C-alpha cells in the first residue's frame, strides 16, 4: 500500500512516494522554479538521482513532468499500487480542522480560502487539481497545516483588535507547521513511552520557517505563528514579531504599499535581513569568524527564541519536554545549547556530549537529572500526511 504525498509551494513542489509500513521504500522528488526560467525537477531513489532541466510554466505541467520522471526511475505512479494521495494544504481556516477527501466542493473551498493565504492555497489547489487529472480513480486527501491549531484556546487565538473587524475579515491566530508539531509531539510521547495527554510539551520547529508551540492535555494551547506564517520567531527571511506601528510608519515615511511591506517582511527580513544570509550553516560559519552582523543576527534569533520558551514555560506551568526539530533544530547543537543555557533554575540541563551527537533518530540531549527532558526529534511531515490520508480513505 503506497501513498503519494505532495507539498506544493508557490514555485516548487516536493513529492514523496512512500509505504507507511515499510520505511525502506522511499522515492523523493522536487520540482523547483515553476513559472521561472531554468525550472528543474529531480527524483531520488535507492541512492540514485535523476535530474531534468525543462520549462515548467505551471503546477499542472510540473505534475506531468514529475510523473514522467517517476516513470523513468521505474516508479510510474499509475502502476505503483498507490491507494491514496495526500496533499499538504497550508490554510484550512475555520472550515477544515481535519483531513478531508477532496471533492469538487472541497477544492473550491480551498481556493476560496486563498484570501487568507494568497501565496500558498492557490498553489496547493493547483497541485491537487493536476493530480486529480493524472490519477482520476485514486482518492486525494487534503491535510491542513492549520488543523493542529484549530482548537487553540480563545485567549490564544484572539488578537486584541476591534471584534467586528476581526470577525468580518477572519483576523485571528491560525498557526502553521501544524503537521510538524503534531508529528513531533506524538513521536515524543511514543519515544518516552508516556501518554500524550499527560505531557506538557514545548516544540521548537526551527527550519527556514520557524515556529514554537505549547501543548498540554493533548492539545495545542499556543503557537508562535499567527494569522500568517510571519508572526513569532526570527526566521530565515521573515521578521517574526515586529511592532505593528512599523507598518503604518513605513507606509507613510517610505511610501511602502502592501506589496512592498509584504516583500520586506517575508523576503528581506529575518536572518537574511540582518546579515545577508538565511542559511543557518553560513550564519554559523560567519559567527565563528566573528562577523559582527552575523553575531547580531544570531543573538536576535536566540533572544526571541528564549522569550518564547520562557513564555511557554509560564503558560504551561513548567514543561515536561522541550523538543528541537527541523533543519536548524535538528542540526545546530551550539544553537540548542545557547537557547537553553543558564536555565538550571527551571530544571533544564543540557548534556554537552548528548547534544553534540549527530543522528537521524529521536534522542534525549538533557542530563539524567534534568527535570525537563530536552529532545531532538527529526520531523516527518510527509509521513504524517500519508498516515492521515490513509486514515480517511481506508
Give the closest residue to 127 by CA, choosing from 146, 145, 100, 102: 102
Give the closest residue to 347 by CA, choosing from 323, 369, 363: 369
- For ligand AMP, give the closer residue by CB, 268 or 281: 281
Helix/strand/coil for 59: helix
Q: How far is the CB of 335 from ligand AMP (least distance, A)?
A: 8
- For ligand AMP, give the closer residue by CB, 75 or 177: 177
Among 84, 331, 355, 373, binds ligand AMP (CB under 6 A): 331
- By Cβ distance, which residue is nearest to ligand AMP? 327
Annotated catalytic residue, options 145, 182, 222, 320: 145
Interacting positions 183-242 with ligand AMP (CB under 6 A): 207-208, 236
Q: Between β-strands 321-325 and 201-206, what pairing exists: parallel, antiparallel or unpaired?
A: parallel
At 190, phi and psi to the nearest 5?
A: -65, -45
Verify binding: residue 371, ligand AMP, rule CB under 6 A.
no
Q: How far is the CB of 303 from ligand AMP (least distance, A)?
A: 18
- For ligand AMP, give the closer residue by CB, 112 or 285: 285
- For ligand AMP, give the closer residue by CB, 96 or 298: 298
Do 368 and 194 meet the contact criterion of CB atoms below 8 Å apart? Answer: no
For 32, half-sphere exposure in the C-beta direction (CA atoms, 13 angstrom radius) is: 9
Rounded CA gap, 203 and 216, in Å? 11
Q: Find the radius of gyration of the CA atoms of the chain.
A: 21
Verify binding: residue 326, ligand AMP, rule CB under 6 A.
yes
Do 322 and 305 meet the contact criterion of CB atoms below 8 Å apart? Answer: no
Contact map string, positions 278 to 307, toward ligand AMP, x by CB under 6 A: -xxx--x-----------------------
Contact map string, positions 77 to 116, toward ligand AMP, x by CB under 6 A: ----------------------------------------
The answer to whether 76 is a known catalytic residue is no
Among 332, 372, 376, 390, binds ligand AMP (CB under 6 A): 332
CA 303 to chain CA mean position, Å = 21
Do 287 and 338 meet the contact criterion of CB atoms below 8 Å apart? Answer: no
- For ligand AMP, give the closer residue by CB, 106 or 287: 287
Quickly count: other Cβ atoms within 10 Å of residue 332's Cβ.
18
Residues annotated as catalytic are 145
List contacts with ligand AMP (CB under 6 A): 207-208, 236, 279-281, 284, 326-328, 331-332
Amino acid at each position: 500500500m503506497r501513498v503519494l504525498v505532495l507539498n506544493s509551494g508557490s514555485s516548487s513542489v516536493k513529492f514523496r512516494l512512500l509505504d507507511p509500513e515499510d520505511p525502506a521504500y522511499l522515492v523523493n522528488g522536487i520540482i523547483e522554479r515553476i513559472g521561472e526560467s531554468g525550472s528543474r525537477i529531480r527524483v531520488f531513489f535507492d541512492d540514485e538521482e535523476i535530474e531534468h532541466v525543462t520549462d515548467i510554466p505551471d503546477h499542472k505541467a510540473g505534475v506531468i513532468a514529475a510523473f514522467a520522471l517517476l516513470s523513468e526511475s521505474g516508479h510510474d505512479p499509475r502502476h505503483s499500487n498507490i491507494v491514496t494521495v495526500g496533499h499538504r494544504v497550508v490554510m484550512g481556516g475555520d472550515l477544515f480542522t481535519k483531513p478531508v477527501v477532496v471533492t469538487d466542493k472541497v477544492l473550491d473551498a480551498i481556493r476560496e480560502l486563498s484570501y487568507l493565504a494568497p501565496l500558498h492555497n492557490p498553489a496547493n489547489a493547483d497541485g491537487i487539481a493536476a493530480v486529480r487529472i493524472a490519477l482520476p480513480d485514486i482518492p486525494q486527501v487534503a491535510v491542513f497545516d492549520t488543523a493542529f491549531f484549530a482548537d487553540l484556546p480563545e485567549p490564544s487565538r484572539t488578537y486584541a483588535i476591534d471584534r467586528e473587524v476581526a470577525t468580518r475579515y477572519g483576523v485571528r491566530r491560525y498557526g502553521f507547521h501544524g503537521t510538524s508539531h503534531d508529528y513531533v509531539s506524538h513521536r515524543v510521547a511514543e519515544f518516552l513511552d508516556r501518554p500524550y495527554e499527560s505531557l506538557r510539551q514545548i516544540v521548537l520547529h526551527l527550519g527556514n520557517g520557524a515556529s514554537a508551540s505549547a501543548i498540554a492535555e493533548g492539545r495545542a494551547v499556543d503557537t508562535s505563528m499567527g494569522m500568517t506564517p510571519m508572526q513569532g520567531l526570527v526566521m530565515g527571511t521573515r521578521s517574526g514579531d515586529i511592532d505593528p506601528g512599523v507598518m503604518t510608519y513605513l507606509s507613510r515615511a517610505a511610501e511602502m504599499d502592501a506589496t512592498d511591506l509584504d516583500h520586506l517582511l517575508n523576503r528581506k527580513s529575518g536572518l537574511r535581513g540582518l546579515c545577508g544570509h538565511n542559511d543557518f550553516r553560513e550564519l554559523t560559519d560567519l559567527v565563528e569568524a566573528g562577523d559582527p552582523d552575523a553575531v547580531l543576527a544570531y543573538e536576535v534569533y536566540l533572544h526571541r527564541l528564549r522569550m518564547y520558551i520562557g513564555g511557554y514555560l509560564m503558560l504551561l506551568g513548567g514543561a515536561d519536554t522541550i523538543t528541537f526539530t527541523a533543519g536548524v533544530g535538528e542540526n545546530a547543537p551550539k544553537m540548542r545549547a545557547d537557547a537553553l543555557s543558564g536555565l538550571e533554575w527551571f530544571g533544564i540541563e543540557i548534556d554537552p556530549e548528548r547534544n553534540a551527537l549527530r543522528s537521524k533518530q529521536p534522542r534525549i540531549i538533557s542530563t539524567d537529572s534534568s527535570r525537563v527532558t530536552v529532545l531532538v526529534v527529526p520531523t516527518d511531515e510527509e509521513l504524517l500526511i500519508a498516515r492521515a490520508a490513509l486514515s480517511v480513505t481506508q
